[in-house]
Each structure stands twice: as structure tokens, then as C-alpha cells.
Amino acid sequence: MLKFTDVWKSYGDTKAVAGITLEIRRGEIFGLLGPNGAGKSTAVHLAVGALIPDRGTVAIGEHGDPSLPDVRARIGIAPQAISLYESLTAEENLTFFGRLYRLHGVQLREKIDAALRFVALIDRRRDQVKTYSGGMKRRLNLAAAVLHEPELILLDEPSVGVDPQSRNLIFENILHLREQGRTVVYTTHYMEEAQRLCDRVGIMDFGKLLAVGSVSELLTQQGGKTALVVTTDGTEIRMETDDPLGELNRLAAVAPVADFRLERSTLEQVFLNLTGRKLRD
Amino acid sequence: MLTILALAQKDLRILIRYKSGLFFTLIWPLLVAVMFGTIFSGESGQRAKIKVAIVDEDATTESGRFAARLEKSGEFEAVRANQDQGISLVRRARLTAVILIAKGFGEASGRLFYGTPPQVEVWIDPSRKAEAGMLQGLLQKHAAARMQSLLSDRANSRTMIARALKEIDAAPASGDKAVLGRFLGELDRFLAAPSDNPANAEMGSWQPLEVVEKAVARGTAGPAPRSSFEITFPQGILWGIIGCIMTFGIGIVTERTLGTMTRLQMSPSSRFQLLAGKALACFTALVVLQSGMFLIGRWIFHVRPQSWILVMMAAFSSAAAFVGIMMLVSVLGKTEQAAAGAGWAIMMPIAMLGGGMLPLFFMPSWMAAASHFSPAKWAILAMEGAIWRGFSLREMLLPCGILIVVGITCFLAGTRAFQRNLT
């Protein structure tokens, strides 16, 4: 659905994207993970044709170059900044964005209703956006991205500054989009979100794509072994092992086990192993 | 085209909701036009009097009469004081000037056509030079009126001539003495002649200069505004135009800082469409602003354009010029504050040089010459041409053509810089 082939993009001496090759499949939720400044937003801008690569190609399925207006019309985007007009109502914002995507008349009104229902803002449709909470603005930002029913939806850090209730609602919306067969690219620096939502993830740092795969694949390949933590005779013992049950049995045979737990590796650990530093350094 | 219309409609809707922007675009220019129009027309009440202290150091009948004449004239708000008190009041900016009637005023008043003239000293606040000129003119006027009054009284005039002839006789011999003696003798004989002589009868009403003030009326030959509002409305409209383009220019910067520009860039709209939508919204707002101001001027303030077609030419060409300038303002800064600061720093001299603050004739010659480079000057000239200067269609082509060229040039430069900012 979205294909990067050896894509490079620099701002002056800074390489924002350095030789990315990646193919995102139709109907999947793909997480693009990395700390701030990793190059995720630049990759998103390249994907919608708002930036032209210095080298390499970006293609949207069989449609090709996303800098072409007709190709861009198949993409929806919720930028990281809340890109709405605060003095306009939700309905006026969506009407405006819908018209940019060539929607008119009854069709536009129906899609606005559907989008507002989708993000649970139908009751606030005639309120100016400046009266909304941060979470409501994020949801409307998402509604503007899906209004024209695009094949590919790019969500750039959609949960930043959002209350837990709105965050859950946004997650449900994203999962619902997958059920509808849409392709979603989700950038975030919250690994737990990626683990919860994404079919596959790509980890970026300093403009490079360090690893790509499903969450379980990355955990297995890059996350290290599962850790067994056992409390015995008032002492806590932590050991990494491929066979936690066997290790537990061996320990129980030697001394009574008061407590134990398993610590599975996380994407946070994967990032640490790949880059040598924590995600939020 | 539908995309451009959608963009323009959105920007106009935001303008309507943006209260302070709307105030500076629509209400402020109207206030400027009405305020200055009222001041220039004198409809705000009586013309301000010059505040003076009158110091009569001579203390003679003649100096007393002259002081009383000044007080009664209605042109001064006068207080009597001694010299020190008067100067102190001027220094503290309570008065504009001290008029000091010097010693010897009364005696000098009795001399006709010879000797030292009656003297008045004027101690003026140096920061009020404009009023100093007016004050001198008023004093000369009252001196002439005093002279007229003296000559209107035959007996008094003949007494003065007799005294003068006596003093001339006593003076040492010279060529001037003989000439002046002959002149005064002839004048005395003229005054002694019977009053039924027609020339003699008119003497009582003789003045050195009679100034007849006439109001210019509609239909008078030559260019002339029919009301002071016809002068001030173009200035008010100019300020409205500036307010409007600042609102739109900063609005584009806001779109960049808030991120809505990112979404617009990522939509299927081309950059040309984005910029054309912005330009159309600004152009529409400027045309509506100017039309509204002209209509308010017409209905309420009796601003009667000589040709509505020429008015529309002026409005469209001014709008074109300032839409281009708006595009330049939008790339002046990366934040709203930076763009606003830089924008006003450019717009203020443009407005000042163009006659938006002061009439061009108040400016030094080099500034008047520099005004040719201000689009504000050509916008005001085009509007004045359509309202009261009586421009023909051909005469309108120069200011309107310059405005359109300025608009296209600025738009292309601003668009180029804007696109560079986006990439």
C-alpha cells in the first residue's frame, strides 16, 4: 500500500531520513516508532507528497507518486499538531476539509455525520473548536483525516496530550478502521501503544529504520530472553532464561519459593538493545 | 476553482469571527475617516482659539484699545498678565504665546508713514511653530484694522498729519523730507475736501486687502472636494486596507504555526490553489471593505463620487496591490509576533509616505518625491480621482496601472518566498 525505496531526505546537514526501504501492507496497522527527532514526521510528510525525497521513491500502491493531487486524495492524515480552525465549528471544519477532498452536497453532509459519529462528537458539531477539550480536538483531528474515506490513513502521534478516556476512544477508532480494511500508519514514541495496536512496527532513530517486524517477532529477535524473578528465603533472584518453567522447578527443589514472576521483554527493551539508549533519552 | 472558493470562504468566515481583526478592518477605518473629517470640517464645534497672555507695557489709550481689540476678536483666549507671569505660563505649556505691547506703542501709533512703527513682541512656545505663523498673521490683520480705523476718522487723521508735518519741519533737511512733506500736505488737502467727493467718501471703508472666503460648491470649475469627508474617507479606507492585509498576512503565519497549513499542503490542493484561495479571500475582503466605506460615506457623510465606475476601478486596483503586499507580509516572520512587528514596521512608512497620516504638502520635498514609491499614495490618488479630483478614465489609468503592477510584483515575490518557506 505504501512503499519507500531507499528514500533520503536532509535539512541542511541533518539527515532526517537516511535510506529507508519499507513496504506497508494493505489493511494493516503499522507503527512507526522512535524518539522525538527520529524522522517519523518527515517520513509521514514524504508519504503524502508534502515533501519530495532527495533520493529514492515513495509510492502509494498502484497509484504511484503521492505528490500528485489525485494520489494524495486517497490519503488521510492527522498531523501531530492539531490542525483545525479554532474559531470554526466542528461541522464547518469538516465541511472545509471535505471540499478540499472534492466532496460536495449530500455526499459531504453524510460523510460529515459519519465522521462525527465515528469520533463521538456528533452532539458538539455546532460548537466552535476552541470550546473543546484537548481530547475532543484530537478526535476531531482524526475525523478530518478519515472524512473522505481514504485507503491510507497516517496518524502522527495521535494520542499526545489526550486524557485516558479520549485515548481509549481513539484506539477503538483505529482498530475499527482496520476492520474496515483501511491501512493505518501510526507514529508514536509510546511503545505500549504500539504493542497494543500495531500488527507490525518499524523502529526509527536518527533517520534510519533499525528494525521491522511484528511485535512478537521484534520481541523475540531483539528483546532478549524472558526474565524469571523468584523470591526465596527473603532474597529476590532475577535470571534471564529460555526455559522459565524448568528454572523455576530447579529452584523450588533447592529451596522453598515464596513468590515468582516473569518479566517479558518490551519494545522499550528492543529499542534499548538496538540503539544502546532508552527511548526517551 | 471550487477548492479556491472553499479556501476563500473559510478565510472570510474566520475573519468575521476574529473580532479584533474585524474591528481594525471595518470599524477603525470608519472612525479614522469620521474623526478627521469632522475635525477638518469644523463640525465638532468652534475652531480652537489661540491661548495668549496680553502684556500692556505701554499702558496708553492706544495700547489699551489694541489690547481690547485682540480680546474682543474671538480669535484669542486671552488673559492679562505681566511679562514674567505670561512667560511662565508659556513655559508651563498653559499658553501658546505672550503678546507684549511694547513701551512707545501709543506714541508710535500717532505717526503716519514715517518713524519707528508701533511694536509688539511675541514670546512663543517653540514647540508650536505652526500657531506662531497664524499668530503673526492675526496680529498683522488687527494692525491693519487699527490703521483703517484711524484713517476713517478725518479729524483724527488730519491731527496726525499736522503733527507729522510739524515734526518733519523740525527734522534736518533731506530729499525724503521734501517728498514726505509734499505727500502729507496733499493727503491733508484731500481729507479737507468736501465729503461729497465720491473718491473721498469711499475712504472710510478702504482696506489694504479684502479677503473674501467662499465655499467651493458642486459644479465649480476645477477639482475640489465637496466635503471634508471626501478627503478623509480615502485615508480611512487606506487604514482599513492596511488593517485587513495585516490580519490576512498574520493569518497565513498562524496557519503555519498551528499546523493547519500542513494539513492544507497534504490535501489534494496544489500550492497555486492554496495561495489563490488566500489571495481571493483577501481581495474579496478589501473590495467589500472599500465598497462598504464608500456606501457609508455616500449615505451618511455625503461623500459623492463623481463616477462609481472609477470608484470600482480604484477599489479593485488598490485591492490587487495590497493583496500582493499581504503575501509579502506573510513571509516576514516565522511567528505571528515577528510578522506583525515587521509588517507594521513596513506598513507605517508606506502609509506615512503615501499621505495616510499627513497630507503630502506638509512633507519636505525629498519625502514628497519618495512618496511616488508608496502604493498608499497611488491608492489614495486613485480614490480621490474617482471621488473629487474629476479624473477621466485615461487619467485613472496611471494610478490604477501602478497599483496593479505593484500587486503582481509583490504577489510573485511573496509567493516565491512562501513556497520556499514550505519546503
Say if residue B42's pLDDT is above 70.
no
Least confident of A20-24, A41-45, B14-18, B34-38: B34-38
Which of A72, A73, A79 comes nearest B262 by C-beta?
A: A79
Please, which pLDDT band fits residue B3 given cuts at 50, 70 and 90? Answer: confident
Amino acid letter for position A70: D
Report the Cα–Cα distance between both ends of chain A, in Å, rounded: 33
Q: How far apart are CA A192 and CA A203, in angstroms?
A: 13
pLDDT at A265: 78
Burial of B14 (0-12, 13-18, 19+ CB in 10 A): buried
For B388, which DSSP code? T
* Cα of A36 to nearest chain B Cα, Å: 17
For A39, which DSSP code? S
Which of A49, A77, A84 comes nearest B260 by C-beta?
A: A84
* Cα of B249 to nearest chain A Cα, Å: 16
Say if residue A151's pLDDT is above 80.
yes
Higher pLDDT, A222 or A177: A177
Domain A1-74+150-223+266-281 top-level CATH class? alpha beta
Q: How far apart are CA B307 and CA B390, in angstroms?
A: 9
Please, which pLDDT band fits residue A36 given cuts at 50, 70 and 90? Answer: confident
Residue to test with chain B: of A100, A140, A154, most B Cβ within 10 A: A100
Question: So what's the ipTM on this one?
Answer: 0.77
The answer to whether A47 and A185 are in contact (CB under 8 A) is yes
**For chain A, domain boundaries:** 1-74+150-223+266-281, 85-146, 225-264
Q: How far apart are CA B240 and CA B229, in angstroms?
A: 15
Continuous segment of H or E residues that includes residue A166: helix A164-179
Place of cell 509616505: B353
Place of cell 500495531: A198
Mean pLDDT of A13-18: 88
* Residues 257 through 276 of chain B touching chain A, CB cutoff 8 Å: 258-260, 262-270
> Do residue B10 and residue A45 have CB atoms under 8 angstroms apart?
no
The answer to whether B133 and B108 are in contact (CB under 8 A) is no
Say if residue B219's pLDDT is above 60.
no
Q: What is the pLDDT of residues A189-248, one digit of tens each?
A: 887 888 888 999 998 888 999 889 988 888 888 777 778 888 888 888 888 888 888 888
pLDDT at B217: 40
Residue A8: φ, ψ to 5°: -125, 140
Say if residue B272's pLDDT is above 70.
yes
- Residues of chain B with pLDDT > 70, as a percent, come to 86
Torsion of CA A56, A58, A62, A65, to 10 degrees: -100
Mean pLDDT of B277-294: 90
pLDDT at B215: 44
Q: Where are the alpha helices (DSSP H) in B194-335?
A: 198-201, 228-258, 260-266, 271-300, 308-329
| CA atoms within 13 A of residue B411's CA, in its CB half-sphere | 20
Please, which pLDDT band fits residue B316 given cuts at 50, 70 and 90? Answer: very high
3-state secondary structure (DSSP) of residue A58: strand
Residue to test with chain A: of B266, B271, B336, B422, most A Cβ within 10 A: B266
Say if residue B218's pLDDT is above 50.
no
> Do residue B14 and residue A87 have CB atoms under 8 angstroms apart?
yes
Question: Is B6 an 8 Å CB contact of chain A?
Answer: yes
> Do residue A69 and residue B10 have CB atoms under 8 angstroms apart?
no
Continuous segment of H or E residues that includes residue A57: strand A55-60
Nearest Cα neighbor of A82 from A159, A184, A174 is: A159
Burial of B207 (0-12, 13-18, 19+ CB in 10 A): exposed
Question: Is A232 an 8 Å CB contact of chain B?
Answer: no
Mean pLDDT of A12-19: 88
Mean pLDDT of B321-331: 87
Mean pLDDT of B80-91: 90
Residue to test with chain A: of B267, B271, B336, most A Cβ within 10 A: B267
The answer to whether B394 and B371 are in contact (CB under 8 A) is no
Nearest Cα neighbor of A158 from A149, A146, A150, A148 is: A146
Q: Where are the alpha helices (DSSP H) in B45-201?
A: 61-72, 83-91, 105-109, 129-152, 154-170, 175-192, 198-201
Q: What is the pLDDT of residues A234-279, one digit of tens each?
A: 888 888 888 888 888 888 888 888 889 888 778 878 888 888 766 6
CA B14 to chain CA mean position, Å = 36
> Do residue B6 and residue A96 have CB atoms under 8 angstroms apart?
yes
Q: How far apart are CA B61 and CA B72, in angstroms?
A: 16
Angle at B56 between CA B52 and CA B58, to 5 degrees: 155
> Whole-number mean pLDDT of chain B?
81
For chain B, the C-alpha Rg in angstroms (whole number) is: 32
Q: How far apart are CA A155 and CA B361, in angstroms?
A: 61
pLDDT at A24: 92
Question: Is A47 an 8 Å CB contact of chain B?
Answer: no
> Whole-number mean pLDDT of chain A?
87
Which of B13, B262, B263 comes nearest A88 by C-beta?
A: B13
pLDDT at B240: 85
